[in-house]
Every structure is written in C-alpha cells, then in structure tokens.
A and B are shown apart, each in its own frame.
Chain A
Amino acid sequence: MQPTSHAFKANVDKALGDATLQTALGLAMLGFGPKRRSAVERLPEFEALREEGRRIKNQTLEHLDYYLETFERNVTRWGGKVHWCRTPGEAREAVLAICRSVDAKTVTKGKSMIAEEIALNDFLEENKITPVETDLGEYIIQLRHEPPSHLIAPAFHLLKEQVADVFRSSHTELDPARSLVEPRVLCDEAREILRPKFLAADVGITGANCLVAETGSSIIVTNEGNGDLTQTLPKIHIVLASLEKIVPTLEDATTILRLLARSATGQEFSTYTTMSTGPRRDGDLDGPEQYHVILLDNGRSAMLGTEFQDMLRCIRCAACINHCPVFSAVGGHAYGWVYPGPMGSVLTPKLVGVAEAGHLPNASTFCGRCESVCPVKIPLPKMMRHWREREFEQKLSPAPYRFGLSAWAFLATRPALYQALTGVAMRVLAAFGKRRGHFRSLPLAGGWTSVRDMPAPQGRSFQSLWAERQKAKAGR
C-alpha cells in the first residue's frame, strides 16, 4: 500500500467532510470506551496485570535473540519451519515460494496486520494467486479495494448500506432483488459465500497474536472462527508474525491474552483463542500438512536500544486507537498507511520514514488517554514527542513555525524583555477587544480564529499588577 501520510491534512479535510464516514465513526466509537471500562472494572487485578504485561514484554525484549532461536528450535522440532525475513520483500517472496510449491490457486487469509504491512494481497494477485480475506470486515474492504481503517475492526468506517451495496455488486450469482437491510442477513450471506472458499483453498494464512518460545507455537485470537477454518482446512498453514510477538512461555502468553480482549473489545476473553504447533500429527484426521512461520523484522530489531524500544511491547489491541479523540474525528484512513491512531503515529514514521509520516506524531494534543489505557503501558505521547525531536533536529518542521518557536524561546529566557514586550502587546489587544470580549479574527492567529474566537486578555499582566501590589504593601 502506497502511503499517503504526507497528505494527512488533505486526508483529514476529506474525512471531516464525509458525512457517511462521520455517521459510521460516530456509531462505532461510542461503544469502545464503555465496553473496555466495564471489563476493566470487573477485574480488580487489571492494573496489576498491565504491569505484568509490561514486565513480560520488557524481559523478553532483553533476550529477544535467545527467545527467537528457542522458538525456531521448537517449531522445527514439531515439523514446522521458520523463515527469517528482514524486509517486506523477503517476506512476500517467502510466502510466494511456499504457495508455488503446491501450485496454489487460492489462499484464504485470517486477519493479519503484517499482511497489510507487506502488501501481500496485491503481490499474490500479481502472481496469479487469489487471496480471499475471511474476516468479515477484511472481506468487505477487500471487495471495496480499500485498506483497513482500524486494527481490529477493519470495516468500522462503513455503514451497513455500504456493505449491502458492495455485496450486491460483487455477489452477482445471487438474486439482485434480495433484501440486504439487516446486518444479520449480510453476515449470513458472507458466510454462505466464503464457506466453499475455505474448503477449496490450497494455503491458509493467518497472523499471530503471540509466538511462544517454550513450545514453538503461534496463537491467534478471533471471534468469528475464520482464522481456525483458515488454518485447519488447507494443506499449508502460513503464520505471518513480526518478531516482537514472541513471549517465553504459555503462562506469559496467558497474561497477554487476559489483557488483550478486555483492552480491545471489552470482552472477558475472545471467542476463539487457538494455539498451533507444527503441522498435523501422525494419525490426525485434519489439520495442515505443513506449518510455516514468516518471521518479519522490517526495522523492528533496529528499534531495540533506542527511544522507540517501548513500542515493541505493543500487542495491537487498538485500545489507544479506540480512545483517541483525533482518531474519533478523522477515522483510520486519514493516517495514510496501515497503522492508524496513536500506535500508528509512533510506528508509521519508523516503517515508512519520518519525511513521509512526519504529520502523524504532530497531530496529537498529547492528551494522554492512549497511554492511560494501553495494556502494556507504552508511553505513546512521549514517543510521539521523540519523533518531533528528530524532526526538529533534522529541520523538517516548517520554517515559520521554527522561527516562531525560537522567537518564543528567545523571549522566554529573557524575563525583563519578555515582560516589557508582552505587556505592551496585551494592553493593545485588551484595548481593542474589551467591548466584544473576544476577537473574531486576529492577524497572525488565523489557525486559531479560523475556527473559534480569541478571548481578549484582561489588560495588565499579572506580574505588573503584582509588582504594584507589593509596592503598595511595602509603602503601607
């Protein structure tokens, strides 16, 4: 997927002006906060579990090489294979080679953000292999040829009427006059259409929520059961995972899972949590004959030891996204690449470059709600600030803005000059603004007054009034 993060401002204007999108966003965003909150309130240990999650992830990162090697050893022991891939290109080629080895025609896919990151679908199609998304949301956006707008609810930017439209135009074998008003009906239709595709697929590709070093297993979490059909029915199961998904033991994975569903959807536990280890065993009646793990780095190992290391704890629960006021206003597509919201604002500049995605870490008020809900306590605002620092160091921020900042800092470190100048400025403003009490427009403050009034200052500065008061007191 070609990033459009550089066009963030234009994307934002488009999103804010899109009435359908705004209705869908409004509907969807309402539920996330309260659902998470009630799940959290039901579990008194939740805060302590967040701390545990943070600790487990940190300790794992300290020995990442060891755990990855152990993981590989155990995958191999159970007859699977790990493919170490430095870049998206290597990962795509590895998938293609496996598909070609069985002359695959169609591939079913469970939801995988790594597949989005490496733009796998386009690549498979170019190579005459048909990818079929099976998560309902992913299926809908695949039909619409658009990227996901959310980590866990990829089609949440759509209204049911839009889903009905794309089903009617895509499922041409069905009666065009059928009623598609109810979500129930839409859901059943997708089930009917996708069932034979599950059964016919040559290869099934899933993501992974955790990789377990102790056992060489991958764990996926779904509510639909699509991931399970995807990985059980075809001859080959390919797992796409980035390397920070690794945890040492089943117990560690369990702690992460306790945090995941509650943070993501507010469920106590997702419907299906499935651990897979290797291909089918001797005597098994079903299950894949081959099990492959595509282990993607794509810049992650280089985040270790940097100010962005904490981001490697991310478990992709989307809580930060669901609680972000900027995301709630503009939705996921405005961010212009695979990962939206606060976690995307930290990760995207790393993965596509700060020149492309510099807006994202800037488009935050640092309200801190993301960090306060993150199940592994990632200091997201702090890391967005680190991006701003890099941008500032590299002089990527706009010149007038930089000039304004230095002027402010120059004054702010010279209190006497500052007080003299600002004192005059405020008196002038106050004199002009007194009657109305606010300004409808102000020179040099168009960013402010284009959308709201600027309240007028009272007049004198506190410092000057205070000095007078002190003088009067002393003179008394």
Chain B
Amino acid sequence: MPEQPIRVGLFVTCLVDLFRPTVGFAAVKLLEDCGCIVEVPRAQTCCGQPSYNSGDRADTKAIARQVIAAFAGFDYVVAPSGSCAGMIRSHYPELFADEPEMATQVQHLAQRTYELVSFLTDVMGVTGVAARYDGIATYHDACSGLRELGVKDQPRRLLRSVAGLKIAELPGAEICCGFGGTFCIKYPAISDRMVGDKATEIVATGADTLLAGDLGCLLNMAGKLTRRGTAVRVRHVAEVLAGMTDEVLPIGAPDEAVS
C-alpha cells in the first residue's frame, strides 16, 4: 500500500445514477475496502456515448470537456461500466485528436480511467472479496469492456471468491445482447432477436442469476427475461462482489412487500 492513499474519482455513469444507485454504492464499498479514497464529482452526468454514437461530435465534445474538467486531478477514475470507461479511455483521445492543446489532459485522463472490476484486480491487485451469495450465476461479457478493455477473466476471478456462489458459463457470452445504446430503440426488431437469443441461452444454463458489468446490457436482458416470465435474478456484478444484494431487489424484479 502506498504512503498516500489512492484518490479515486467515481464516474457513476448516468444509468447507475438514475436507475440503480446501489451499484454506485457497491463500487464505493469495493474501492474503499481496498484502501482507496472515493470522491464523486457533482458535475458529472453522462460520458457522451449517446451523442458520440449518433454522429453528433460537437455535443459529444461539450459533454466530454465537462467530464475531463470534473475528473482532473484524481489518481484514477473508475466507472462501474466497461462501456463508459471504454468511451473515456479509447474514444476521448480520438475525439480530441484535432485539438493538440487538449492532448495532454485527455491522454492523462484516458490512461487513468478503468472499469471497476479490472481496476480492482489489475491495479489494486485484489484477488478475492469477502462476500456471500447463494446461487448459481452465469456471466455475460458486455462488449465494450470485453473488446475495448480486455475485461474477461477479472470478474470471474473475483466471483470465484464469493462464498456460496457457483458459476455456470454462458455459451456465447461474448456475443452482444442487442442493447447497443440507441440501437435497441432504433432497430427493435433486430434487438429483440438478439436479446431473445441471449435470454434463451441464459435460461438454458440453468443459472438462477445473471451478472454483467454494464447496466445498459443488464436492463436490456432483464427486460427480456421478465417479459418472458422467467425467474432469473439479474444483477450488476458489483452488487454481488460488494455483498450488497440484500439492499436491493434484482433488476426488474417485483417487490412482493408492496401490495
């Protein structure tokens, strides 16, 4: 452990902020457990992906500038999402390639930005967590984390340390779930087919729980699984690793206590 504790800026991501704050708190817990000081800049909203992937460069840059300013000065920036971390890490430098005066700042931020689980394992050297979850989980590799950031083995490694948890590998875990940001509403028919195939494969594993590291994909898959009336519990991997599954119902699950 270094002399000075590591200061981490948490990039909450818009979906976690709005839909599932518990994932944010799970991230905070995991980071604090390994000795980081976590701060959450108030001036953050979104990483800019919706604009970026829609071809709106000007708005993307405006949003990105805000992120770059808000997260200047941290030792690391961590997001509980491979997709948002990938945006900052891989795409911000490209976005500002035509602004040499931004290059240092952008590069600096990009190199210090990590997806949560890979930060824990690859940077902090975490090899296990003190959590318990009774169930059989299958894991979907969200695309950006997998292919832009190389997140594949890290979550599985940490999940293996969770007491009571068994893992049933998902065939085709590397195939996109059909979320794709605005894709899923622009091309619902194709998206339906993709998430439908995914749901079928998830159910076929026999797992009672689906985990992944990106809330967008999780909302998509959870939405399909409940639409099909399956009982698979859907959660962000951070909730399980932080041992916080008692604090919130699975994504999309009905609250039996409310009548």
Contacts and interface: CB of A to CB of B under 8 A. Distances in A.
A100 interface: no
Interface string B217-259: 0011011101100000010000000000000110111110011
Interface residues of B, number: 76
Interface in B187-209: 187-197
Interface string B13-53: 01011111110110000000000000010111110101111
Given A409-B51, A413-B62, A463-B12, A366 B143 contact: yes
A447 to B, nearest CB: 3
A448 interface: yes
A412 B46 contact: yes
A426 B18 contact: yes
A196 B253 CA distance: 67
B144 interface: yes
Contacts of B194: 325-326, 329, 365
Interface stretch (A142-150, A165-173, A256-264, A388-396): A388-396
Interface stretch (B114-122, B123-131, B155-163, B171-179): B171-179
Interface string A427-463: 0000000111110100001011111111111101111
A456 B258 CA distance: 14
Interface stretch (A9-17, A214-222, A267-275): A9-17
A397 B55 contact: yes
A369 B143 contact: yes
A90 B138 CA distance: 57
Interface string B58-93: 011011001000000000000000000000000000
A437 B51 contact: no
A330 interface: yes
Given A369-B174, A369-B175, A390-B55, A426 B188 contact: no
A325 B59 CA distance: 29
A365 B226 contact: no
B169 interface: no
Contact of B18 (A390, A422, A447, A453): A422
A353 interface: no
Given A415-B44, A458-B248, A463-B17, A434 B183 contact: no
A285 B193 CA distance: 56
A458 B21 contact: yes
A365 B20 CA distance: 23
Contact of A392 (B44, B54, B148, B224): B54
Contacts of A368: 143-144, 147-148
A456 B18 contact: no
A130 interface: no
B21 A455 contact: no
Contacts of A13: 189
Contact of A408 (B16, B24, B46): B46
A388 B55 contact: yes
B9 interface: no
B223 A453 contact: yes
B59 A406 contact: yes
A388 B148 CA distance: 20
Given A365-B183, A385-B55, A325 B17 contact: no
Contacts of A474: none
A159 interface: no
B191 A451 contact: yes
A387 B254 CA distance: 42
Contact of B193 (A329, A363, A422, A455): A329
Contact of B185 (A382, A388, A438, A448): A448
Contacts of B6: none
B40 A405 contact: no
Given A405-B51, A435-B258, A365 B178 contact: yes
A270 B175 CA distance: 28
Which of the four size classes fits the interface of chain A?
35 or more
A367 B180 contact: yes
Q: Which of A406, A413, A447, A462 has the most CB of B within 10 A?
A: A462
A452 B224 contact: yes
Contacts of B254: 435-438
A393 B234 CA distance: 39
Contact of B56 (A409, A452, A467): A409
Interface in A1-39: 9, 12-13, 16
Nearest to B220: A452
A289 B187 CA distance: 53
A167 B252 CA distance: 52
Nearest to A368: B147
B184 interface: yes
A437 B249 contact: yes
A405 B62 CA distance: 13
Interface in A288-310: none
A454 B223 contact: yes
Contact of B188 (A451, A454, A455): A451
Given A411-B45, A453-B226, A458 B20 contact: yes
Given A329-B190, A409-B62, A409-B63, A415 B178 contact: no
B176 A413 contact: no
Contacts of B60: 409
B255 A434 contact: yes
A446 to B, nearest CB: 8
A28 to B, nearest CB: 15
A412 B49 CA distance: 11
A372 interface: yes
Given A363-B187, A451-B195, A438 B222 contact: yes
Nearest to A426: B18
Nearest to B12: A462
A66 interface: no
Contacts of A58: none
Contact of B63 (A16, A365, A412): A412
Contact of A401 (B43, B59, B186): B186
Given A365-B179, A405-B50, A435 B190 contact: no
B255 A437 contact: yes
Nearest to B148: A368
A463 B62 contact: no
A435 B234 CA distance: 17
Nearest to B142: A367
A364 interface: yes
Given A329-B194, A437-B252, 11 more contacts: A326-B190, A382-B94, A426-B19, A437-B253, A447-B188, A448-B188, A450-B188, A454-B219, A457-B20, A458-B22, A466-B21
6 contacts: A365-B143, A365-B178, A387-B55, A412-B48, A426-B19, A453-B224
